[in-house]
Amino acid sequence: MAEVTATAMHGLGIATVMARKSATAAAIGEALGADLPAGPGAVFADNLAIIGTGPESWLVVKEDAEPDFAARLGETLAGLASVSDQSGGYAVTRLSGEGARTVLQRGAFIDFHPEAFRAGSVASTVIAHIGAIIWQVDDQPSYLVANFRSYASSFQHWLNASSVPDHP
């Protein structure tokens, strides 16, 4: 199998953002400086990845985040959205290299073909009975996979087993 590089991401600020009843996605996007995805999709703006995870809800991820990232995000979105810090709740792994797509296809039953899943695509799915949010960050392709931190070692075990070269 082609090479896959798996890197645990550290220093991320992660927050769930859910629109308040009277707020629109456009207003939240304006406050964040981005056009928010209306469904499963990712946009990248001002060192943020904004991942659509459900109706009027997003996961906002920032690399090298300050410890008060979620609190500041809450201040920015005051009156528009509820913000919940998830930084300690998720483990995020970056998968890249020629074999990254193949490895994900072994566990997530979604179409990772480049015409169906490309930079900005997002899926909430299950890999080896582990809930995962996957988003493609570039055309290399590179993916970020977020799962609950309590399942990080199980995900790593699956990843190691799935990255073993195919036998003839």
**CATH number for 101:** 3.30.1360.120
pLDDT in tens, 67-81: 999 999 999 999 999
CATH code of the domain in which 17 resides: 3.30.70.1520
Domain stops at, among 54, 85, 116: 85
Residues 17 and 65 in one domain: yes
What whole-number distance in Å separates Cα of residue 19 and Cα of residue 133?
20
What domain range includes position 33? 11-85
Q: Does residue 36 fall inside a structural domain?
A: yes
What whole-number distance in Å separates Cα of residue 114 and Cα of residue 100?
12
Nearest CA to 92 out of 53, 132, 40, 57 is that of 132
The count of structural domains within the chain is 2
Residues 94 and 149 in one domain: yes
Confidence of residue 167 (pLDDT cuts 50, 70, 90): very low
CA 19 distance to own-chain centroid: 19
Domain stops at, among 55, 85, 115: 85
pTM, entire model: 0.91
